[in-house]
Amino acid sequence: MKDPFLECFREKPRPEFSRKLYQKLQEQDHTRGSTPHPLRKKRSVQGMAAFTIVFVLTLIILPGVLAGPIRTNLHTLPGLTFCEVDRTPVTTAINPNPLIKKAQVASLQDARRTASFPIDIPSWTPENFVMQNTVNLVGSLDNKEVDRTAVPGKEIYFEPYAVGITWRDSRTPRRIQLWVVKHGIWFEGLPNPSIGRGSYQATDINLCSGALIEGQWNPQTHRWDNSRGGYLVWVAPDLDYYLVASNGRFPTEDLKRMALAMQ
Amino acid sequence: MRAERLPRRIVWGVAQSETILDWEAVYTEALPRLYNFFRYRVGNDLVAEDLAATTFEKAWRKRNSYRQDLAAFTTWLFAIARNVANDYYRRRRPEFYLDELESDPGNVHLANDPADNPEEIALRSAEFARLSVLLRQLSPRSQELIALKYGAGLANRDIANMIGMTESNVGTLASRIVARLRSEWEVDR
């Protein structure tokens, strides 16, 4: 039974994704070669044996080798633990953020009508930063549906657990986003954001525990880069706040000033 | 899907196998099906890409164990895909990196730069997100059936073989689910 109602949502895979995956499979083929299966198995056994010997020798001769990679420094806020590491975690085949979410944009006014929590915004922002007309709403698929009669004419169809507001610098690509997130929802489970070494600085915002984090990961080098922006995170009784500065160097004092100007 | 062609560098099967599939043709034909199976199954384009890639990589690694005729190929590939989807749901856990806040808050292709074209992005994602919401309310078995039938576009007979139902039961169940989805879709509008 054909059904256009459901089939219309099919999409072609992105050409880039198709090409890269095909290339990856081909590379696997090159790596493995066209060796017949039994011989390949024998080689893999030999390889495993060699690896085991090297690994054991490493343990015996260089015990310090293991100490480096597992050395971490943790900083904890209520419900949130930051982990200082040298490099970004190794990317796995599975998306590292597999929460099924829904998202949409709306006006701040509509977001405020729909969200079950207050969405305050700072009365001060750095010079030349302009607030965007729309905000991001994020909810899990399990979040209850919104009675849309309460938001007449608007397409907000779920109750968000996070709302993001964006300011852009009118002269440079720099951007600031404020995320207001229901406490314990976003990070439920394994809250271990990885940050660069030495980037963490404890602070407080209106008597709430917080953290100033200077820099961001560089996705190309997988190294922490202090010139890429920064974060200010603070935890209120029911809400978590994230000020995220991106696309350029940013004084962390400005983030704190924005946070203190929240109304 | 073409068969009985001379093996290229990338072929399905090895010399001792009686069946030789043209891997490039298999890939071209099967990837969109797999991708949409996962999109309908998990409701997320990025995750669907990851899961489709995982499935193909697994299939590629196990290609020597595939000894069936060509007709069974789809069944075999989607058996791997179903396991990949089940694994995904088993180990699904909230996890996050700070950068994602900035770059991918919605994880629905929404936030690369939502301010650039918010209406278009919102419309595109909202409709599929609505469908995903409705699908998530179905039983896991029904979700899988819809993903196989309307995502991957498989025939009732193939689906019946995969999920252990009769072909007619697959058709009946699919009709009921579609009717329910249609009704909820209209109400929600």
Per-residue pLDDT of B19-72, as tens digits, reads 456 677 778 888 999 999 999 988 878 888 889 999 988 888 876 666 555 556
Contact B31 A13 (CB under 8 A): yes
Using alpha carbons, select from A158, A163, A155, A164 the residue that is nearest to residue A141.
Answer: A158
Question: Looking at the complex, does the CB of residue B25 fall below 8 Å from at least one CB of chain A?
Answer: no
Q: Per-residue pLDDT tens for B111-130? A: 333 333 445 445 556 677 77
Question: Looking at the complex, does the CB of residue A94 fall below 8 Å from at least one CB of chain B?
Answer: yes
Question: Looking at the complex, does the CB of residue B116 fall below 8 Å from at least one CB of chain A?
Answer: no
Task: Output the pLDDT for position B145.
Answer: 93
Using alpha carbons, select from A219, A214, A211 the residue that is nearest to residue A199.
Answer: A214
Closest-CA residue of B relative to A131 is: B115
Q: Between B110 and A14, where is the model more confident?
A: A14
Which of B101, B122, B136 lies nearest to residue A179, judging by beta carbons?
Answer: B101
Task: Output the pLDDT for position A136.
Answer: 80
Which of B14, B53, B118 lies nearest to residue A37, judging by beta carbons?
Answer: B14
| pLDDT at residue B110 is higher than 50 | no
Which of B15, B94, B133 lies nearest to residue A141, judging by beta carbons?
Answer: B133
Interface size A-B, in CB pairs within 8 Å, comes to: 215
Question: Looking at the complex, does the CB of residue A213 fall below 8 Å from at least one CB of chain B?
Answer: yes
- Partners of residue B36 in chain A, C-beta under 8 Å: 10-11
Contact A93 B54 (CB under 8 A): yes
Distances in whole angstroms, Cα of residue A81 to Cα of each of A47, A78, A178, B7, B111: 39, 8, 20, 53, 25
- Partners of residue B114 in chain A, C-beta under 8 Å: 105, 134, 136, 166
Question: Looking at the complex, does the CB of residue B46 fall below 8 Å from at least one CB of chain A?
Answer: yes
Question: Looking at the complex, does the CB of residue B8 fall below 8 Å from at least one CB of chain A?
Answer: no
Which of A14, A99, A164 lies nearest to residue B107, judging by beta carbons?
Answer: A99
Q: Between A26 and B109, where is the model more confident?
A: A26
Q: Give the CA dihedral B150, B156, B158, B161, nearest 10 degrees.
A: 120
Question: Looking at the complex, does the CB of residue A70 fall below 8 Å from at least one CB of chain B?
Answer: no
Cα–Cα distance for residue pair A71/A55, rounded to 1 Å: 19
Cα–Cα distance for residue pair A230/A178, rounded to 1 Å: 12
Question: Looking at the complex, does the CB of residue A194 fall below 8 Å from at least one CB of chain B?
Answer: yes
- Partners of residue B102 in chain A, C-beta under 8 Å: 175, 177, 216, 229, 244, 246
How many Å lie between the alpha carbon of B107 and the closest alpha carbon of chain A?
A: 7
- Partners of residue B43 in chain A, C-beta under 8 Å: 100, 141
Contact B10 A25 (CB under 8 A): yes
Cα–Cα distance for residue pair A18/B78, rounded to 1 Å: 18
Distances in whole angstroms, Cα of residue B124 to Cα of each of A102, A132, A202, B44: 12, 20, 41, 12
Residues in Cβ contact with B124 at an 8 Å cutoff, skipping those fewer than 6 apart: B109
Distances in whole angstroms, Cα of residue A256 to Cα of each of A4, A182, A230: 52, 20, 11
Task: Output the pLDDT for position A129.
Answer: 94
- Cα of B138 vs its chain's centroid, Å: 17
Task: Output the pLDDT for position B105.
Answer: 36
Contact B93 A97 (CB under 8 A): no
Task: Output the pLDDT for position A66.
Answer: 43
Q: Between B97 and A213, where is the model more confident?
A: A213
Backbone angles phi, psi at B55, to 5 degrees: -60, -45
| pLDDT at residue B177 is higher than 70 | yes
Q: Between A108 and B16, where is the model more confident?
A: A108
Q: What is the mean pLDDT of chain B?
A: 71
Task: Output the pLDDT for position B188.
Answer: 52
Contact B126 A104 (CB under 8 A): yes
Contact B49 A17 (CB under 8 A): yes
Across chain A, which has 263 residues, the per-10-residue mean pLDDT values are 76 87 79 48 57 53 45 72 69 34 73 88 94 79 49 58 87 88 54 76 91 82 82 88 86 91 84
Task: Output the pLDDT for position A259.
Answer: 95
- Partners of residue A164 in chain B, C-beta under 8 Å: 101, 105, 111
Q: Which of residues 99-128 of A touch B (CB under 8 A)?
A: 99-106
Task: Output the pLDDT for position A258.
Answer: 95
Cα–Cα distance for residue pair B115/A53, rounded to 1 Å: 55
Question: How is residue B27 written in tokens?
Answer: 């890939």
Residue whose entry in the numeric block shows the structure tokens 């310090």 = A64
Contact B132 A100 (CB under 8 A): yes
Backbone angles phi, psi at B40, to 5 degrees: -70, -25
Residue B153 CB neighbour total at 10 angstroms: 14
